[in-house]
Amino acid sequence: MRLGLLNLVIAFAGAAVWATPPEFTHKLKESVAPPRGWERHGPAPPDHIIKLRIGLPQPSFPELERHLYEVSDPDHERYGQHLSKEEVEALVAPHPESVELVSQWLAEHGFDESDLERSSAKDWVTIRVPVRVAEMMLDTTYSVWKHNDGDYLVRTTSYSVPEHLHDHIDVIQPTTMFGRFKGQKSTIHSVEDVPEQKNTVALTSTHAATAPVVDASCNTTITVRCLKQLYNAVNYTVKAAKNNSVALTGYLEQFANIQDLQSFYAEQVPAAVGTNFTVISVNGGLNNQTLAEAGAEANLDVQFAFGVSFPTPGTYYTTAGRPPFIPDIGTPTDTNEPYTDWLDFILSHPNPPLSISTSYGDDEQTVPESFARRACAGFAQLGVRGVSLMFSSGDGGVGDGEEDPALQQCFTNDGKNATKFIPGFPASCPFVTAVGGTTFVPETGIFFSGGGFSNFFKRPSYQDVAVKNFLGRLPKGIYKGLFNPAGRAIPDVAAQSNRFRIFLSGRPVLIGGTSASSPAFAGFVALLNDARLAKGLPPLGFLNPFLYTKGVSGFNDITTGNNPGCGTPGFNATQGWDAVTGLGTPNFGKLVKLVT
């Protein structure tokens, strides 16, 4: 059935029917326990439209992963030899039999090729269907689910597909995903303008001998100047801006206000006044420049990432989609996690930006493992193409994202209600760089810095030495059963994350969270790429194999602070890698020598 007829079919449901497929034996594909905090509110409206994404297997993905680690390992002869878009798509393409069988199944339910949206590599197929058709296709029943904070979703707790398709479909969503992609920011505090303080204080850290002095005001207010002082980049001059790029992703109706950016530049980066960034709307993402409607998250991201990396060209992706369903107003479409729409878009682009930060995430356990693995595989595709991806590590310490540790619910979603630390996703994907948070001068790990160990992804080999050292120093017994010591560990690195001075709706405010750390770190990665490009070297791409080997000496080791949650003190920052601040904060002056 063509999409152009979809509304007509819905309006005249009594007069028209979807094609009745032949009988198949359905077999359960995925099932989840009703997640904590959600209760079934009622039946899903049968004509409610779902944007259904079907992931086809990627049989050659292990080969792509091999390429990724080789081109990202600074000791490998192929370091920096990133793959092209076409080479990557060939490595993630599904088997032709999978494409054919899934296409036949969809045709048997009334869809022809013009109704299907295929990803650039043909490994995802997207269709828009009413609930009643999705229920027939997946032998399931959708319901409206209500969260205890008032959000609604249209989801099911299990679905099936014809048995002969089980080896040809990895995942179908939205079905069992109850995640709510959210910004990683803490409370915003409005403040009065404060004159810049002239006195300074020496940075006391293991790298004090090579670091410049830092304005005393940086203990209470973080500016671009503070970050460049703290991270030893005051005297760096951008040399290859025309070949470089840095970008930010925005979701949930967030957009960055240009007038606010100009106010920020006038105060903190005067040379940038009058310059702008590129805005790209994905699936109708908003870019309303009404000053009063500016997004705090978006403004924070663009002002600091672009402020640190100026004059590197910047891009802001505003992606439409908000999963919560509003039953009383007949929401026309229930989207999937919107970052996968952005991922489809950016993977189809021949020249994606070289440094990209995302300040959004979710509790790992609210995302089905099958979906998390497919999204993570998408991030790997960007890495092997030479893109560095940064994600905020989260603002709940070792807990579930609730900033107040006393309110955290640290229980598993598997029906056992076991007490466990709650890692965040996508930060837990081993193919991205997770950025935690620090505060003050000298720096200390901040209490809300998300850290811990994945329950989905095993620890990658690049973390073995650093993480085993950390685990070996943990007190015996205290953490027993609370985390998966064999899991991918987060964060990888850290940066300042508190009291960032931005302009929002025409006024200066202070804002914090690992949503500040990630774009700030991405700005410094853009400067490292600039240094490489200026010498004719390729961009850094996937950072982690470098960070945990040659890059270790380019970080300020943070040895104080902890990230409480789940009724515990959480983990402690300590010598070497730790689950609060990772390897530490960047010493740009050292890193630039290491990468060039």
- pLDDT at position 288 is 81
Read off the tokens for 440: 């003050």
- For the chain of 596 residues, list the mean pLDDT of each consecutive stretch of 10: 41 41 82 85 92 96 98 98 98 98 96 95 95 96 89 92 97 88 46 45 46 87 98 98 96 85 98 96 82 85 98 93 54 58 93 96 87 96 98 90 62 79 94 97 96 98 98 90 97 97 94 94 98 98 98 98 92 98 98 98
Residue 441, both tokens:
């001068």
Residue type, 300: L
User: Tell me, what's the pLDDT at 485?
Assistant: 97
Catalytic residue among 120, 309, 359, 515: 515
Catalytic residue among 89, 115, 301, 344: 301
The 10 Å Cβ neighbour count of residue 372 is 25
Query: Shortest CA distance to 424 belongs to which of 487, 340, 504, 357?
Result: 487
- Residue of 86, 113, 114 lying closest to 102 (CA atoms): 113
Task: Catalytic residue, from 30, 123, 170, 297: name it.
Answer: 297
How much is the pLDDT for 367? 86
DSSP character for 157? S
Is residue 403 part of the annotated active site? The answer reads: no
Query: Cα(56)–Cα(467) distance, rounded to whole angstroms?
Result: 34
HSE-CB for 13 with a 13 A CA cutoff: 7
Looking at residue 55, what is its pLDDT? 97
Which of the 8 DSSP states describes residue 357? E
CA pair distance 596, 593, nearest whole angstrom: 5
- What 3 state SS string does 259-280 have? HHHHHHHHHHCHHHCCCCCEEE
| Per-residue tokens: 489 | 């560990």
Q: Binding-site residues for Ca(2+), please?
A: 557-558, 576, 578
Position 289 scores a pLDDT of: 80
Phi, psi dihedral angles at 29 (to 5 degrees): -100, -40
Distance CA 55, CA 370 (A): 10
Q: Is 113 labeled as catalytic in the residue annotation? A: no
Pairing outcome for strands 388-392 and 433-439: parallel
Q: What is the pTM of this model?
A: 0.91
pLDDT the model gives residue 417: 76
pLDDT value at residue 150: 82
Fold of the 189-193+201-595 domain: Rossmann fold (3.40.50)
Question: What is the amino acid identity at position 509?
Answer: V
Neighbouring residues of 182: CB distance < 8 A, sequence distance ≥ 6? 252, 360, 361, 362, 401
Whole-angstrom CA distances from 465 to 419, 461, 590 are: 28, 8, 22
Domain coordinates in residue numbering, the chain: 3-58+93-178, 189-193+201-595
